[in-house]
Structure 1
Amino acid sequence: MTAQDKVKNTVREEAQRVAGLANEAAQSGAYLYPIRGIFYFLSNRELWKPLAAKLLPTIALGITTLAGVFFFGYLPQAAILAVFNGPLAAVNAALLCLNESSKIFNTLSKNFLVEDSLIDTFDGTLVAKGESELVAKERKVGRGGDAIGRLGKLVSKPFAKFAPSAIIRYVMYLPLNFIPVVGTAMFILLQGKAAGPAAHSRYFQLKGMNQASQEEFIAKRQGAYTGFGTVATLLELVPIVGVFFSFTNICGAALWAADMESRGNENQSTAQLRDQSKKVY
């Protein structure tokens, strides 16, 4: 088997794996939570406070990042992609620049600008959904006021700082864009695979999960997290307003976490009733 055949087989196997993951993601329904997050965020004004506090500097960072990536990266990437994609190179290069600017923006903003605000949005959504006891494990939650106003000082922050491994994986996936249409779709899907679990980093902290527990939890829901992450990634690719979707995505992630807690409590109550009935008989 030649080297070219090996590359083709590897790409084919990866495409099959990604297709299976996409199918599982579609069946899970988790991809709807980013959309639900938009409507819930818009209908609950108290959740706007963390975003409003950081809106201007974050928009400025977004515009600067987007302009810089397109100015320095669009033409060179379009020229390279033209060899493989033909007429589609212009569109794929634009999508690639959007993805790159989104990656840079998210890394910078979440580490230096809006980390606390995103945590407040996640915790505030949980409080609004009646999960104050869960949030109280990591910060004091007051009794009066709106969901955001009830939040006390943070005990610790869950969002990971700059991780070189994430950037390395991102660069490794870039060549997928040389494959017309399908390659770009695979590239975005693989970004979503990583983005999904990252959106629940605060939830994992509130639940007291260690690294091994997190990996097991994610593995059982890999398709669901990929579905959520893919839609969230696509929303954050939108120029300038991507910062707004960063907050609605976190809101959607909190809604998903609240539903998980609700189903978990229901299952626990059912198990307790079964145990009690066994004792009676």
Structure 2
Amino acid sequence: MSDRVKQVAAEEAERVKAMTVDAFQSRAYLYPFKGVFYFTTHKDLWRPLISKLTPTLTLSVGITTLMFLVAYVPQAAIMAFTSGPIAAISAALLTLSESSTLINLLAKTFLIEDALVDTFDGTLLSQNCTNLVGEGRQIQGGGDNIARLGKLVKKPFAKFTPNAIVRYLLYLPLNFIPVVGTVIFIILQGKRAGPAAHTRYFQLKGWSKREREIHVEEFRGGYTSFGVTAFVLEMIPFANLIFAFTNTVGAALWAADVEKKATTSSRVRELAQKAD
């Protein structure tokens, strides 16, 4: 039995090592930061956010303030027994995470879903992925990239599901483990958030559930590293919904790069076949 346990542990360590190397080599963790820079330098992408700014900021401030008033002190008191001197920091991170989850749940379900879709599609248009965007909506002739977005043909971006909430609640107690537990919690949330960021891309590609699973598994390290970075940014109080938009831009930039590489590879294969 002990040999079996050691074998399983060794296999798991190798799997984690391989995923870590894949995450680093993919450089996908940079795309949320690229999204911030790209968003700030392309003013046409601001319009979907500006149209929702007042209600989303009001929601963000209200929920974060309420959570710190109601949940922070009790959680800090419990963590004083498990985390010792860093209980205050751990409880603050936990409260921010809880606030972020509630804000994203309510905002993405009721306020900003269409605005995020416009941001994603507008970014793809700015990267000359017109044919891809055309698979999911009508594209108009004139104006900037947001103005060119016409009527939606496919309804994108899956809303929060009960399963996602259940998983979040199951992982929540990890935060009571000092430092390591919080890190594991963020990684697990990032593992879910990464593929979710490309929901619209998968839909535009017309992939089946099985095709999506195969793609995500092939690039698991990259999706996890993107999701972790995006999740941490969206934990920042009062700015998390702004980062939801910049993360959407980053996800679209990544999708555009994937498309360009796939197109280049297919052209190379075609030229090679013709040469043969």
TM value normalised by structure 2: 0.93
Identity %: 52
Unaligned runs of 5+ in 1: none
| Alignment-derived partner of residue 225 in structure 1 | 223
Aligned alpha-carbon RMSD (Å): 2.0
- Partners of 1:270 and 1:184 lie apart in 2 by 45
- Partners of 1:78 and 1:62 lie apart in 2 by 22
Change (3 A) 1:23 1:99: farther
Change (3 A) 1:60 1:14: farther
SS at match of 1:140: strand
- Superposed, 1:1-281 pairs within 5 Å as 21-278=19-276
Shift of 1:110: 0.6
- Partners of 2:163 and 2:84 lie apart in 1 by 32
Unaligned runs of 5+ in 2: none
- Partners of 1:187 and 1:73 lie apart in 2 by 18
Amino acid paired to 2:142: G
- Tell me the alpha carbon deviations over residues 205-228 of structure 1, each in whole angstroms, 9 at most, x when there is no partner: 000011111111100011100110
- Partners of 2:26 and 2:160 lie apart in 1 by 30
- Partners of 1:138 and 1:114 lie apart in 2 by 18
- Partners of 2:38 and 2:130 lie apart in 1 by 18
SS at match of 1:152: strand
SS at match of 2:83: helix
After TM superposition, the structure 1 stretch with the greater mean CA deviation from structure 2, 153-162 or 109-118, is 153-162
- Partners of 2:111 and 2:9 lie apart in 1 by 38
- Partners of 1:259 and 1:117 lie apart in 2 by 22
Amino acid paired to 1:195: A
Shift of 1:26: 2.4
Amino acid paired to 2:105: T
- Give the total of aligned pairs: 271
Are the counterparts in 2 of residues 15 and 186 from structure 1 also a CA contact under 8 Å? no
- Partners of 1:20 and 1:57 lie apart in 2 by 43
Are the counterparts in 2 of residues 18 and 186 from structure 1 also a CA contact under 8 Å? no
SS at match of 1:162: coil
Are the counterparts in 2 of residues 33 and 252 from structure 1 also a CA contact under 8 Å? yes
Are the counterparts in 2 of residues 124 and 151 from structure 1 also a CA contact under 8 Å? yes
